[in-house]
Amino acid sequence: MANIYKNAKADLNSTSEVTLYTSPSNSRAIIKSILLHNDSGAGADISMKVVNASSAEFPIFTQLSTTARSTSQILTEPLILEESEALKCTASVADRLIVIVSILEINKD
């Protein structure tokens, strides 16, 4: 079993849904932190969810507000992703938000 430290980054330059990270089929993942940065002069919202292997959706944040030129740690406790689960997000406004996710991936092989 191997522990692999990773990060996933996205500059949300559209209002389309973005897959930040998908846990491999042979691994579980611990999401250690989610940093959200608003690099614009105006507020914006973010929505985030986990999608499991059978495509069921589980919201984490729905329209979480950010203020202009701010950075927030939006995950207060670790989040576990099981095999083949995905972390997805959507910005309310394009070109304002940047997301960085810190991950510990635990490979079962």
Concatenated DSSP letters of 32-87: EEEEEEE-SSS-EEEEEEEE-TT--EEEEEEEEEE-TTEEEE--SS-EEE-TT-EE
- pLDDT 10s digits, 49-74: 999 999 999 999 999 999 999 999 99
Given pLDDT bands bounded at 50, 70 and 90, which one contains residue 1? Answer: confident
Q: Rounded CA gap, 42 and 68, in Å?
A: 5
Ordered by start, the domain boundaries in the chain are 2-107
Superfamily of domain 2-107: Nucleoplasmin core domain (2.60.120.340)
34 burial level (CB within 10 Å; 0-12, 13-18, 19+): buried
β-pairing verdict for 18-22 and 86-91: antiparallel
pLDDT of residue 44: 97
